[in-house]
C-alpha cells in the first residue's frame, strides 16, 4: 500500500515568478512560487509548489518581491505638495508649512491627504510606511481602510499644534491613540516627539516612557541639519544623539529620521540602542541638509531604511526613486562605486527598513510566517530590456537602476490585494484628484491674502504681535554728547533709571512703500565697563503714514512689535524685502521726569555708518491728541536744553542715514 501524501493547503499560490525573497541570504527562486494563507506567507519556493491552493495565479515570469517599506513620511502632506519650494529648512518649515498647517490641518484634511498618499504609494509598490503627523487617529483609520500597513506616530511638540494646545494635551492624545490602536493587524501606533529642537527633555522622556509602557516604537527626527547640531552644542554642550540619550530617549525602540550630521560615536550609540535610521535622500538634498553617512552606519550594523519624507519636501512618495538615489549618493559622495550596491539598496528599502521600524518580524521579506506584503513587478518594459543572465545579482540592478514605480503591476498587503493589473482596489483616484484640487484652492486663497501684507506675514510667523500705544517722539542731531550728558546729569531733570546698550538694526523696505519699514533689532546690554551682559532681538514694523504731527514732533506711526525668534537671515528670506540697510549704534537710554512728564531720552552715537554722528531722541507714551500736543510742547523745550531742535528727516528711524 502506498503512503498517502497530504499536501498542506493554502488560499493562494503565486506561480511562475522570479521570487526575490530579500531574506538575509538574498535567496532567489527562479522560477519560484509563493503560497499565502490568510494574511500570511505559508511557504516560498519549492515548498510553496507542494501546497494545495484554493486559487493559483500564474505570474508570467514577472518578479514577486516584498512590498517597499517607506521608513519615514508625513503622509497627509501630499496635500501640501509643491506649496513652497527652494527655501531654507527653517523658512520652509516655520514660514510656510507650520502656518498653513495651523490654519488647515483637521481630521478631514489628514484623512484626504492620507488617502491620496496611500493611493500614490500603493501605485508605486509600497505596502508599509512610517508616518508622523497630527490627528494620527484619522490617518490610522484611512490607512487601515486603504489596506496598508503603517507605524503611525502621533506628533508631540513643545508648542501648540493643529491638534493640541499644549504638550501635555498632545501627550494625552498620543496615549489615547496608542491605547486605541494597540494590537491592530495593520497599524502600529507610537509617540512621535517631532525633534529635539522642538521638544524639551521632559517631552523626550515622557514619550520614551509611553513607548516603553506599550512596547511600541518611537518616531523622531534627529540631526537633520548642521545648524541643529551647532545649536545643540551651544545650548546643551553636546551634539544631538548624546543629548537625547541623556534624556532617556533610547530606552524606547527608536526610529530616527535623517541622522545626516552624526559622528562615529553617535552612530555607535544608535547601534547600541538598536535604533533604526530612516535615510531620506531626496528630502535631505532638496532642503540642502547634506548626505547621511549611510555606508558607515550600515558597516556598524545600524538598520538604515529608506524614506521619502513628506511630499512637501520631496515632492513625491516614490520609493524606486529614493532607492536609486540612496545607491547613487553613497557612490558620488565617497568616490567609491562599490558603495551601497543595488542589492543592499533594495534590502534597505524592504527588509532592513522594516527592521529599522522595529517591524522586522512582520514584514520586509518573503519568508514563511511573515505577513503577505508583496508586489508583482514587470521588468519586461522598454526601459528595462535586454536582461543578462550570466550574473545572478543582475536582477537587483535591473530593479534599482532601471525600474520605475509605474512597472508595479499588483500589490498585496496583509494577504489582501490593493492593486490588480494596475487598478487600485481600495481607493478612487479620480475622486482623490478632485478633492485635493479643492483643498489646494483654499490654501491658495489663504496664502495670497497673507502675502499681500508684511503685517499679515509677520502675524503668520511672529506669534503674539501687538500694536503699541501711540507715542509722541522726536529726533534731533547734536554736535557732541557733552551738552546732553550735562543736562541729564544736571538739576533740571530727574533720572528715574538708565541703561546702556549696543544696537544692531537691519531695516527692510518693500516694493510697496505703504508696507512701511520692518526693523530687526539686536540689543546687547552693556554694564558700566562696557561689557556685554545680555542680548535680545525684536522685530518692529513701522507703518509709513504718520498719524499726526505737531510741528516736527510726531504722533507716531502704527507700530507692531514681535519677539524675533529667528535669525535676521530667516526673516530676510521669509519677507523678501526690496531693500536693506543696516545701522549700528551705541545707545544710552534714560527714563527722566521733566516738568512733571516722563520721557525716554536716547543719546545715540552711530557706529555705522561712521559719518552719522550723535543724535538725541525723546519720546513719551500718549493717550489723547490733547495730551500729545501738551507733551510736544514740553519736548521742544527739552530739546532746546540739549542745544538742538527737531529734525524731521530722521523720522524713519535711522534707515535713511544708512547706505
Query: Residues in the site for Zn ion, rule: CB under 5 A?
Result: 309
Whose Cβ is closer to Zn ion: residue 309's or residue 367's? 309
Q: CA gyration radius for the chain?
A: 32
Cell, residue 134? 497630527
- 309 or 439: whose CB is closer to Zn ion? 309
Three-class HEC string of 331-386: HHHHCCCCCCCHHHHHHHCCHHHHHHCCCCCCCCCCCCCCECCEEEECCCCHHHCC
Residue 47 beta carbon to Zn ion: minimum distance, rounded to whole angstroms: 40
Report the residue number, 149 or 194, with the smaller CB distance to Zn ion: 194
Q: Which C-beta is closer to Zn ion: that of 309 or that of 522? A: 309
The bridge status of strand 471-478 relative to strand 408-413 is: unpaired
Say if residue 215 is preceded by a cis peptide, omega within 30 of 0. no
Residues 423, 269: Cα–Cα separation, whole Å: 45
Residue 31, preceding bond cis, omega within 30 degrees?
Answer: yes
Report the alpha-carbon distance of residue 387 to residue 163 in Å, rounded: 51
CB 283 → Zn ion: shortest distance, Å? 7
| Nearest CB to Zn ion, comparing residues 308 and 651 | 308
Q: Which is nearer to Zn ion, 199 or 377 (CB)?
A: 199
CB 65 within 8 A of CB 128: no
Nearer to Zn ion, 309 or 584 (CB): 309
Q: Tell me how far apart the alpha carbons of residues 251 and 234 are, in angstroms, rounded to a whole number.
A: 25
Q: Which residues pair with 521 in a beta bridge?
A: 505, 538
Residue closest to Zn ion when measured from CB atoms: 309
The phi and psi torsions of 486 (rounded to 5 degrees) equal -65, -40
CB of 72 to Zn ion, least distance (A): 6
| Distance in angstroms (rounded) separating the CA atoms of residues 612 and 485 | 19
Q: Which is nearer to Zn ion, 155 or 403 (CB)?
A: 155
Count how many Cα atoms sit within 13 Å of the Cα of residue 79 in the half-sphere of its side chain. 27
Which residues, in sequence order, are CB contacts of 132 under 8 Å at separation 6+? 72, 73, 74, 153, 155, 192, 194, 219, 221, 257
Q: How far is the CB of 309 from Zn ion (least distance, A)?
A: 5
Nearest distance in Å: CB 110, Zn ion: 15
- Least separation, in Å, of the C-beta of 155 and Zn ion? 10
CB of 227 to Zn ion, least distance (A): 16
Dist CA 113 CA 126 (whole Å): 16
In angstroms, give the least distance from the CB of 77 to Zn ion. 9
The per-residue DSSP string of 295-333 comes to HHHHHTT--EEE----GGGTS---HHHHHHHHHHHHHHH
Q: What is the dihedral of CA 192, 196, 198, 202, to 10 degrees?
A: 80
For Zn ion, give the closer residue by CB, 170 or 414. Answer: 170
Task: Considering the complex, state which of residue 37 and residue 282 has its C-beta at the smaller distance from Zn ion.
Answer: 282
| Helix 136-146 with 167-181: angle, nearest 10 deg | 30
The bridge status of strand 187-193 relative to strand 466-467 is unpaired
Q: To which residue does cell 495670497 refer?
A: 448
What minimum distance in Å lies between the beta carbon of 394 and Zn ion?
Answer: 34
Which one, 79 or 553, has the nearer CB to Zn ion?
79
CB of 642 to Zn ion, least distance (A): 57
Torsional sign, CA 140, 144, 146, 150 = positive
Residue 419 CA to residue 433 CA, distance in Å, equals: 18
Write phi, then psi, for 160 (nearest 5 degrees): -60, 145
Peptide bond into 386 cis (omega under 30): yes
State how far the Cα of 132 lies from the Cα of 174, in Å rounded to an integer: 11
Smallest separation, CB 308 to Zn ion (Å): 9
Three-state SS sequence of 207-255 = HHHHHHHHCCEEEEEECCCHHHHHHHHHHHCCCHHHHHHHCCHHHCEEE
CB of residue 255 to Zn ion, shortest distance in Å: 11
| Closer Cβ to Zn ion, 286 or 457, answer by number | 286
Question: How far apart are CB 330 and Zn ion at their closest, in Å?
Answer: 21
CB of 414 to Zn ion, least distance (A): 25
- Give the CB-side neighbour count of residue 14, counting CA atoms within 13 A: 33
Q: Between residues 321 and 471, which has the closer beta carbon with respect to Zn ion?
A: 321
Between 22 and 71, name the residue whose CB sits nearer to Zn ion.
71
Amino acid at each position: 500500500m502506498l503512503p498517502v501524501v497530504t499536501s498542506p493547503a493554502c488560499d493562494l499560490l503565486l506561480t511562475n515568478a522570479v521570487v526575490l525573497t530579500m531574506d538575509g541570504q538574498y535567496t532567489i527562486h527562479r522560477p519560484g512560487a509563493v503560497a499565502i494563507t490568510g494574511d500570511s506567507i505559508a511557504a516560498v519556493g519549492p515548498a510553496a509548489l507542494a501546497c494545495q491552493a484554493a486559487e493559483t495565479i500564474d505570474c508570467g515570469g514577472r518578479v514577486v518581491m516584498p512590498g517597499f517599506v517607506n521608513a519615514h513620511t508625513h503622509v497627509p502632506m501630499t496635500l501640501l505638495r509643491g506649496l513652497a519650494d527652494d527655501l531654507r529648512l527653517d523658512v520652509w518649515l516655520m514660514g510656510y508649512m507650520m502656518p498653513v498647517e495651523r490654519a488647515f490641518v483637521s481630521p478631514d484634511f489628514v484623512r484626504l491627504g492620507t488617502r491620496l498618499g496611500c493611493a500614490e504609494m500603493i501605485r508605486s509598490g509600497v505596502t508599509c510606511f512610517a508616518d508622523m503627523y497630527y490627528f494620527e487617529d484619522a490617518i490610522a483609520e484611512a490607512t487601515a481602510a486603504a489596506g496598508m500597513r503603517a507605524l503611525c506616530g502621533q506628533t508631540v511638540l513643545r508648542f501648540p499644534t493643529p491638534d493640541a494646545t499644549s504638550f501635555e494635551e498632545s501627550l494625552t492624545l498620543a496615549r489615547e491613540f496608542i491605547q486605541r490602536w494597540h494590537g491592530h493587524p495593520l497599524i502600529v501606533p507610537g509617540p512621535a516627539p517631532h525633534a529635539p529642537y522642538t521638544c524639551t527633555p521632559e517631552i523626550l522622556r515622557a514619550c520614551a516612557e509611553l513607548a516603553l509602557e506599550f512596547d511600541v516604537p518611537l518616531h523622531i527626527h534627529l540631526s537633520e541639519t548642521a545648524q541643529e547640531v551647532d545649536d545643540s552644542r551651544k545650548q546643551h554642550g553636546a551634539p544631538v544623539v548624546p543629548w537625547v540619550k541623556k534624556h532617556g530617549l533610547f530606552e524606547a525602540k527608536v526610529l530616527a529620521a535623517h541622522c545626516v550630521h552624526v559622528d562615529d560615536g553617535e552612530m555607535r550609540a544608535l547601534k547600541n540602542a538598536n535604533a533604526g535610521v530612516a535615510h531620506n535622500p531626496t528630502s535631505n538634498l532638496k532642503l540642502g541638509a547634506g548626505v547621511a553617512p549611510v555606508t558607515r552606519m550600515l558597516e556598524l550594523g545600524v538598520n538604515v531604511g529608506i524614506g521619502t519624507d513628506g511630499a512637501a519636501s520631496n515632492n513625491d512618495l516614490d520609493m524606486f526613486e529614493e532607492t536609486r538615489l540612496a545607491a547613487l549618493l553613497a557612490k558620488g559622495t565617497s568616490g567609491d562605486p562599490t558603495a551601497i550596491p543595488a542589492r543592499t539598496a533594495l534590502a534597505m528599502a524592504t527588509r532592513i527598513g522594516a527592521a529599522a521600524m522595529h517591524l522586522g518580524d512582520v514584514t520586509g521579506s518573503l519568508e514563511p510566517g511573515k505577513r503577505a506584503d508583496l508586489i508583482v513587478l514587470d521588468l519586461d518594459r522598454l526601459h528595462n530590456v535586454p536582461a543578462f543572465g550570466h550574473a545572478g545579482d543582475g536582477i537587483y540592478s535591473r530593479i534599482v537602476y532601471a525600474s520605475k514605480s509605474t512597472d508595479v503591476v499588483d500589490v498585496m498587503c496583509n494577504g489582501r490585494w490593493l492593486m490588480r493589473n494596475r487598478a487600485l482596489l481600495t481607493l478612487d483616484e479620480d475622486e482623490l484628484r478632485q478633492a485635493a484640487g479643492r483643498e489646494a484652492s483654499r490654501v491658495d486663497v489663504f496664502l495670497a491674502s497673507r502675502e499681500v501684507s508684511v503685517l499679515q506675514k509677520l502675524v503668520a510667523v511672529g506669534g503674539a504681535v501687538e500694536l503699541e500705544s501711540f507715542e509722541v517722539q522726536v529726533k534731533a542731531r547734536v554736535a557732541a554728547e557733552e551738552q546732553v550728558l550735562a543736562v541729564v546729569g544736571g538739576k533740571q531733570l530727574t533720572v528715574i533709571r538708565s541703561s546702556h546698550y549696543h544696537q544692531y538694526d537691519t531695516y527692510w523696505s518693500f516694493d510697496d512703500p505703504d508696507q512701511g519699514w520692518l526693523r530687526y533689532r539686536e540689543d546687547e546690554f552693556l554694564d558700566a565697563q562696557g561689557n556685554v551682559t545680555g542680548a535680545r532681538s525684536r522685530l518692529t514694523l513701522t507703518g509709513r503714514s504718520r498719524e499726526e504731527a505737531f510741528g516736527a514732533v510726531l504722533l507716531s506711526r502704527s507700530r507692531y512689535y514681535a519677539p524675533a525668534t529667528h535669525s535676521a537671515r530667516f526673516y530676510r528670506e521669509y519677507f523678501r524685502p526690496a531693500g536693506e540697510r543696516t545701522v549700528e549704534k551705541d545707545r544710552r537710554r534714560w527714563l527722566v521726569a521733566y516738568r512733571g512728564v516722563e520721557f525716554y531720552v536716547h543719546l545715540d552715537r552711530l557706529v555705522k555708518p561712521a559719518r552719522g554722528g550723535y543724535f538725541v531722541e525723546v519720546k513719551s507714551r500718549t493717550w489723547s491728541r490733547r495730551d500729545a500736543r501738551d507733551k510736544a510742547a514740553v519736548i521742544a523745550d527739552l530739546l532746546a536744553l540739549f542745544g538742538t531742535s527737531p529734525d524731521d528727516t530722521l523720522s524713519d528711524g535711522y534707515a535713511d542715514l544708512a547706505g
